[in-house]
Structure 1
Amino acid sequence: MTRQPGSTDGPSIGVVVVTHAARRHLERCLPPLLRSPLRPRVLVVNSSSGDGTVELAEAMGAETFVVPRASFNHGLTRELARRRLGTAVVAMLTPDAYPVRDDFLERLTAPVRDGHAAVAYGRQIPREDAAPVERLGRIFNYPATSHVRSLTDWPQHGGYTHFCSNACAAWSNAALDAIGGFKATLVSEETIAAAELLARGHKIAYVAEAVVVHSHAQSLEDAFRRQFDIGYTRRLHADLLLARERDEVRGRQFATMALRKAAVAELPRVVAHLAVSWLGYRIGMAGPRLPQAVARRLSGQDYYWTSEPARNGARGLAVA
């Protein structure tokens, strides 16, 4: 039976908001979640930032869970959080993703609650003062129309088929349980999980009506480091993420769109960003062969390289 957004019937709902020094974001992120008629358990996970994030989250009515900074990992921390909640459906958010409407959570989780998909992710729109590449990236990745993808859609969508963002996503916990949950990884835990779910016959729903304001200002150095981390992770999971398509296809598609849509005055900045991103990605693809000390200096995730997963030899590999 299909449930309308706002219904309190149906599976239990949990929300995980992963934070570090995020106190300033909570008053825009949490209220629509806490007010939802789905009556979710909202869990704010904090990697020991000590800036008052935990105290404010508790005062607002959220549950909290503090993780030692040395133990934080994009995949494993989210895995611990979803298991801690134990709900049938779990939404993952970052604190700087601000829901636009009060019915955001109902809309985001509907395809998972109704059994139409194992994961659903929402539309991200840029901040008003977003730089050209931020704005163009959101246009490219988050269209205005909802759709559902399965592995049979690969000829049409290519690498976009397994695209997903845990800045704003909802997951079936039963489906995650079947693949062993989120894995220890440098970045891209949601892409790895989505690809595994597709391989098992599940579907991914894109919910354009579940909208958050979310984008990041990136310097050229930030862009290099971000793409290094993505390339590094994709190389480690090449059998899952790159087996069906030649590398960089989607990146070239974005570059073509960005150059076509950017205003003339924006072109130098856009070209520089694209060039630095490509270089970071290509070096990242060679990253697993580099000495770890070098990879650490090139990465944007400084905490990861001294974390327990890295010290235990994970280096971004899947851990059961």
Structure 2
Amino acid sequence: MVRPLVSVIVPTLNAGMMIDALLTRLEHQYRAPDEIIVVDSSSDDNTVAEVQRHPEVELLTIDRKDFNHGGTRDYALRKSIGDFVLFLTQDALPKDEHYIDRLLAPFDDDRVALVYGRQLARRDARAAERLVRSYTYGSASFVVTRIDIPRLGIKAFRATDVCAAYRRTAYLAVGGFENDVLTNEDMFIAARFLDANWKIVYEASAEVIHSHNFTFRQQYSRNYIQGVEIEKHRDILDNAPLTGEGLSMVVYTVKHLLRQGLIPEIGRFIIDCGFRYVGNRKGKIDARRAAKRNA
């Protein structure tokens, strides 16, 4: 039996402080990738020089203005050779040398189209951010199919290209990522996979270290863009509401912060959630207005 080929794709922009460690970790995986592609958005730091220290890595360069989360990843995937194509962000570091083989294991089921891994917070993550990661990416693996959508709602479409793997044939069968999507390309293709009766797997044993300490302004902007895109794609998401899942996350985080006696962190987290909510809400409203103008 011929061993399937594995490609890893990493989009970068000014990743000079972290890309060497990531590429080194990938090159030392127990199941080494057959191909690593870095697609760089014309970085103006030392990213290219750091990538060139790894002669087996293929470097693709695009204009910064041409980057978007769906089209850029689709471009790189179609240039890759892998039967299974893995995506990582530049700031997601596999925890150990077994990340790839653990992420690939669920593909033994030939109906699995997408597998995504677990995100562990960095050491410098705020307490609330650490809890949000643990709530969103728990220790138990699970499989999602089309019949789970009524039960799970928006959670059925959860996936993340921070650390994900795709079956090439399934990806192409549903048309791949959209070429002009600002964010959540992983969620939207997950919805199409489920609609086409493919399976999605969360593999908790495949771990990466990844988290953010966003400012309130950054949370607003991030959630505004998500609101725009989710509103534009509400039909393929079965109009599943976000509010219930968001409230559960808030309750979980506040409860654990209380147990730790981190009262000031609770206040900051509540304000942070307010910026998330307002940004998401404004994005949805603006998307609806734009749709009406273009109707």
SS of residue paired to 1:22: coil
SS of residue paired to 1:181: coil
Task: Show the counterpart of 1:53.
Answer: 47
User: Within the alignment, does 1:275 sit opposite 2:270 as a pair?
Assistant: no
Contact kept? 2:26, 2:32, Cα under 8 Å = no
SS of residue paired to 1:51: coil
Task: Show the counterpart of 2:97.
Answer: 102
TM-score under structure 2 normalisation? Answer: 0.91
Amino acid at match of 2:20: E
TM-score under structure 1 normalisation? Answer: 0.84
Amino acid at match of 2:255: R
Of 124-133 and 49-58, the range deviating more from structure 2: 49-58
Q: After superposition, where does 1:127-142 map in structure 2 within 5 Å? A: 127-142=122-137
Contact kept? 1:91, 1:109, Cα under 8 Å = no
Task: Show the counterpart of 1:287.
Answer: 286
* Aligned-partner Cα distance in 2 for 1:291–1:66: 32
Task: Show the counterpart of 2:245.
Answer: 250
2:141 to 143, 146, 150: 146
**How far 1:289 sits from its partner (Å)?**
4.2
Fraction of identical pairs, as percent: 31
Deviation by residue 1:236-292 (Cα, 9 ceiling, x = unmatched) = 00101242x334221121122122222323111111011111111111111224579
Unaligned runs of 5+ in 2: none
Task: Show the counterpart of 2:18.
Answer: 25
Q: After superposition, where does 1:1-320 map in structure 2 within 5 Å? A: 10-36=3-29, 37-60=31-54, 61-112=56-107, 114-115=109-110, 117-183=112-178, 184-243=180-239, 245-262=240-257, 263-289=262-288
Mark the CA change 1:39 to 1:132 in structure 2 (over 3 Å): closer, same or farther.
closer
For these two proteins, the number of residue pairs brought into alignment is 285
Unaligned runs of 5+ in 1: 2-8, 293-314, 316-320
Deviation by residue 1:87-120 (Cα, 9 ceiling, x = unmatched) = 2110000011011111111111222355251100
Amino acid at match of 2:155: Y
Mark the CA change 1:109 to 1:44 in structure 2 (over 3 Å): closer, same or farther.
same
SS of residue paired to 1:65: strand
Aligned-residue RMSD, C-alpha: 1.9
* Aligned-partner Cα distance in 2 for 1:242–1:256: 25
Mark the CA change 1:62 to 1:113 in structure 2 (over 3 Å): closer, same or farther.
farther
